[in-house]
Amino acid sequence: TITTKTNIRVMASAPPSKRLRSDGDAIIAGQREVKVVGFLGISDYGLGQFQVLADRYKVAFATSKRKAAAHASGLDMKLKDLCEARGIEYLGSLDANSSDMVARAAKTDLIVIGGYDGILKQDILTAPRYGVINTHLGMLPLNRGCFPTLWGQLHDLPQGYTTYQVGTAVDFGPVLELYQAASDLGALRDTNRVVYDSLAEQAVSNFAKTLARFEQGDPLGVCLGREAYHKKGL
């Protein structure tokens, strides 16, 4: 299912703030001192992002998906092994909205989603000092929801990824990085796996620089433009 609409909000500046907002509007902030992070979920590119985080910050904890998934069992084991090697607490599959997780998140500066499959609620989103960020393998808000690389090919949408601050709306929030791939990626030339792997590799490759810009206080932009929301796969 695909629903489309036009986002009519206008780019505007917001007053400086230490607490990031999660309503999709632009944010201007001073430098963000990030020392302790948490990590939610697992995916191919999430595993790469986790290693970037572990090299850069103290990672307080890492989780798998909300519920154990057979297709991700191999990634779960890799994440668990990485955590054990680095002395990071691995919590396995759990509900990130639980009171225990909200309390854990409140002791961090930032939470990064690496492939978590549950919808996060307001309490967990606002618990970390600087909120929660995620990388979505689609250009937002044009390609929100499930299987963005697949729907991008089927609907001839630009391929790319978006790193953004997570809000209560699915795949929608202030944008830290919007990356657009070359126009010939996908279409009839490439399989969807090639598209996914190409974007995942680029997202991991750029992640350290993206985090550096976040720390430097780069403003987060408005999530603005024509929207398409895909509720399910084929």
Strand arrangement, sheet containing 175-180: 89-90, 58-62, 36-40, 110-113, 132-136, 160-165, 175-180
Picking from 131, 121, 103, the residue whose alpha carbon sits closest to that of residue 17 is 131
Looking at the chain, the whole-number percentage of residues with pLDDT higher than 70 is 84
Q: Strand 132-136 vs strand 144-145: parallel, antiparallel, or unpaired?
A: unpaired
For residue 82, the model assigns a pLDDT of 95
d(Cα 194, Cα 192) in Å, to the nearest integer? Answer: 5
Give SS3 for 91. coil
β partners of residue 132: 111
Residue 120 pLDDT greater than 70, yes or no: yes
Q: DSSP state, 27?
A: B
206: tokens are 């750029």
User: What digits encode the pLDDT tens for the residues 123-143?
Assistant: 999 999 999 999 999 999 999
Give SS3 for 157. coil
Integer angstrom CA distances of residue 111 from 6, 61, 205, 215: 30, 10, 19, 14
With bands split at pLDDT 50, 70 and 90, how would you rate the model's confidence at 228? confident
Total-model pTM: 0.85
d(Cα 189, Cα 153) in Å, to the nearest integer? Answer: 10
Residue 80 pLDDT greater than 60, yes or no: yes
Contact 80, 88 (CB under 8 A): no
With bands split at pLDDT 50, 70 and 90, how would you rate the model's confidence at 102? very high
63: tokens are 């989780």
For residue 186, the model assigns a pLDDT of 82
Omega within 30 of 0 (cis) for the link into 141: yes
With bands split at pLDDT 50, 70 and 90, how would you rate the model's confidence at 8? very low
For residue 25, the model assigns a pLDDT of 58
179: tokens are 């990356």
What is the DSSP track for 186-217? STTTS-HHHHHHHHHHHHHHHHHHHHHHHHHT
Looking at the chain, the whole-number percentage of residues with pLDDT higher than 90 is 65
